[in-house]
Amino acid sequence: MTSQSAVVSALWHPLGVNGSCIVTVTEDAIVRVWELSTTDRWSFDRPTLAVDLKKLADGVSLEQDFSASASGINKGFSPDSFEMEVASACFASRGSGGWSPMTLWVAMREGDVYALCPLLPERWAPPPALIPSLSVSIVAKVANLEDDPEVPEQSKLLSQQQLAWMSDLDNQDPFIVEAPIGQPPTEVYTRPLKPGKVPKLQGPFDFELAPEESEDELDNMLTDIFVIGPKLDAEELMSGEDEDLEVDDTYQEGLSAGVICLLSSSGRVTICLDLDGVEAEWLPSGKSKYRKFVDMSDPPSLLTFHVLDTLKPEEIYEGSWPMFSHDVSSRYSFFTTHASGISFISLSPWVFRLESELQGNAGPGADFRIDLLVKGQNSIRERLITEDISAEAEPLPLAACVAIRDPDLGYFLLSASSHGPIALNFEIPDDEPEAPRSRSPTYEAESEPQPLLLCPPRPVYQPSPALGLRSALPDFVEKLRHSKYKRLINEPVRLSPATLGIFTDAHKVLSEETHRLGTAAAELFRRCHKLQLDLRDQIARANEVAYRIEALVGDDELNDCMGPVGGNAGLEKRINDAKRRQQDLLERFEKLKRKASRGGARGRELSDKEKVWIEEVSALSEAVLSSENADQPSNDSKATKPWQRFEEVKTLKEELVEHAREVGEEAEGDSNGAIGSKVNVPSEIRRQKVKQVMVLLERETALIEGAKGRLERLSLA
């Protein structure tokens, strides 16, 4: 028995030394940092840091005592105990940029969100790019704010505190700790003493563009929080440096702003963007002149980007407590587990598009495109597992799922219910190479034959848990034996109010059990009927395959001399016939090849008929097509070549067309309707003459084209 509040979140600190630091958050807003050591048993009994968030929310200086009370929880009522009832807490991933790995996000049950930065253990191990990135940003910030008179004093105080914190860190010499086998050694730093070990509690955050408050109270009751840190820009950080930092490519892609996802009791997922970014903040010292600026600071804000619903109205009930689970394949995808099933949500479709718009690389019209991203349903939302809760008096919740990806086990999702474990296997994406399996040095890869699948595999039938549940009727009878109605069990049945009450209670127990058994039996009957249909389908597919094999091999043939010929002999005969036909084709090809080689330049001379035919073709070519000596005068002045006639016709055509156009322009130019003085020919006669000229031109063109086509065919022959 203990009087302490329950633990709502237990998190491994991302910057702990080899996974030795765990952070617990209790229901009454107490944050404890435990640095566990197998050689020190006291490390499991006493935390190295304990902070009461209710005290920290009202704090004004660093000298105050924000530690948790050792006498237990306060039994009296206070607004803080109601408004700061913790629902869940979360850290961003270790490789995130900025202050994200050391920022603890806390979601309150009533809907408020707080941030605690920096929350560090006494000994912590940062990734290689964390300290350089923070150092560059802090130095640049101090240089920009010191000389600007318009910057408020609070911002200058914050920059000086961050500079003091970074200076304390730069003066340290990290010591090396051996990492597990297969990993590089770890550099361990000590938590800076200045400005202080307890940071300022930032919040509650204001939600910009938040949806209207729902009438359903469960829409506003938070149950879990999931944080995706901003990306790390290693190229900009190491620009001009000769050395390169070893940073995972996963954390260099995505959004330059943090993403905070909130989950409510009704299954509503609210996706918010932290565009300003959470930075380290501390309370001023008691003697500082900036104490008056603590209450004057504006509250931080989050921008509401999307709101998704993962549950149907009939699946929502008061005791529901949905949970987030991260995905191992992408940091911008996650799972939500609730009593009705498990859903998958991916933010990848809009994250990279939004990043390009925020960086200003997409050109004009960015506001319109961002508006489309906000209003469109771009996130992927898919229900993976659905539990049937219609037959249950009270829904049985699923355990929060976990995604596992292992070279030997594969990529799958694991959860559990009161009836047993639940697993769902996923296919590895095509764009990601499959991790090689560990094999022994003597293993040799062999091509294993794949079995022939006559029909697609069907899911394995899982019997309903109701078939294996123990009946509640014996317990009901046992309770009657120890109740005031125990004497009625051994007596004959008599009509009385007591007997009616016993039968009514027994009917409730039996009706619930028979309903569950009837539902399970009906499902079993449907499965059996489906099994018969599948069996018939398999038989039909097997007959089809047998028919194809029989058509390929052929029926048994009866030979008078040799007797019956089997299927193998018939198949061999067909193969031999195909080989023989192939050999005949090769022999014919070789004969044609030898004949063509003999008919070359060293063959026989042309005959007289062939010579006459060549001369005729040459004469026809000169008559139809213009040759090189076309400009030379011809001996026969009366003879006109067809190509010359064609050129003359083309010239006449151009002249007539030009003359007709001029006449038409002159006729249109006469606005008074007077007949032109130059042309007195009626329009009908002109149209007839032009029509005759066009017919003659088409006839001549057809003759020339026909002669050209014939000459080309002769040349090809």
- Give the pLDDT score at 564: 47
**Most confident range, picked from 408-412, 548-552, 581-585:** 581-585
Q: Is the pLDDT of residue 25 over 70?
A: yes
Supply the DSSP string of 159-186, one letter for each residue.
HHHHHHHHHHHHT---EEEPPSTTS--E
Over residues 71-97, the pLDDT tens digits come to 555 555 455 566 889 999 999 998 888
Residues whose CB falls within 8 Å of the CB of residue 644, separated by 6 or more in sequence, listed in order: none
Residues whose CB falls within 8 Å of the CB of residue 329, separated by 6 or more in sequence, listed in order: 403, 405, 411, 429, 432
Over residues 419-450, the pLDDT tens digits come to 788 888 888 766 554 444 444 444 444 455 55
272: three-class secondary structure by DSSP: strand
Question: b vs e for 208-230, b when ≥16 Cβ sit within 10 Å of the residue's Cβ?
Answer: eeeeeeeeeebbebbbbbbbbbb
Mean pLDDT of 280-302: 72
d(CA 157, CA 280): 12
- Give the pLDDT score at 436: 42
More confident residue, 82 or 106: 106
* Residue 495: both structure tokens together: 């009509």
Kindly give the interhelix angle for 348-358 and 366-375, rounded to the nearest 10 degrees.
160
Cis bond before residue 204 (omega within 30° of 0): yes
pTM for this prediction:
0.67
Q: Is the pLDDT of residue 413 over 60?
A: yes
Q: Is the pLDDT of residue 699 over 70?
A: yes
Over residues 124-149, the pLDDT tens digits come to 999 888 888 888 888 888 888 877 77
Strand blocks (E) in 550-701: 557-559, 563-565
Q: Specify which residues 505 forms β-bridges with.
A: none
Mean pLDDT of 372-379: 72
* Residue 387: both structure tokens together: 């539990």
Residue 506 CB-density burial (10 A; 0-12 exposed, 13-18 middle, 19+ buried): middle
Confidence band (pLDDT; 50, 70, 90) for 337?
very high
Q: Specify which residues 79 forms β-bridges with.
A: none
Based on C-alpha coordinates, what's the Rg of the chain?
Answer: 45
With vertex at residue 179, the alpha carbon angle to CA 176 and CA 183, rounded to the nearest 5 degrees, is 115
Confidence band (pLDDT; 50, 70, 90) for 268?
very high
* Alpha helix (H) residue ranges in 599-641: 608-624
d(CA 89, CA 51): 14
Q: What is the mean pLDDT of the chain?
A: 80
Q: Is the pLDDT of residue 360 over 70?
A: no
d(CA 607, CA 453): 70
Closest C-alpha to 201, from 281, 109, 91, 101: 281
Mean pLDDT of 695-714: 83
Over residues 474-502, the pLDDT tens digits come to 888 888 888 888 888 888 888 888 888 88
Q: Is the pLDDT of residue 585 over 90?
A: yes
Q: How many residues would you count in the chain?
A: 717
Over residues 166-213, the pLDDT tens digits come to 999 988 888 888 877 777 888 899 999 888 889 999 989 999 888 777
Mean pLDDT of 631-638: 50
Query: What values do phi and psi take at 23, rounded to 5?
Result: -115, 125
Over residues 663-681, the pLDDT tens digits come to 777 766 664 454 444 556 6
Q: Could you tell me the residue ranges of all domains in the chain?
A: 465-551, 609-625+639-657+682-717
Pairing mode, if any, of strands 206-208 and 301-309? parallel
Over residues 213-259, the pLDDT tens digits come to 777 778 889 999 999 999 887 666 655 555 556 666 667 788 888 99
Q: Specify which residues 381 forms β-bridges with.
A: 345
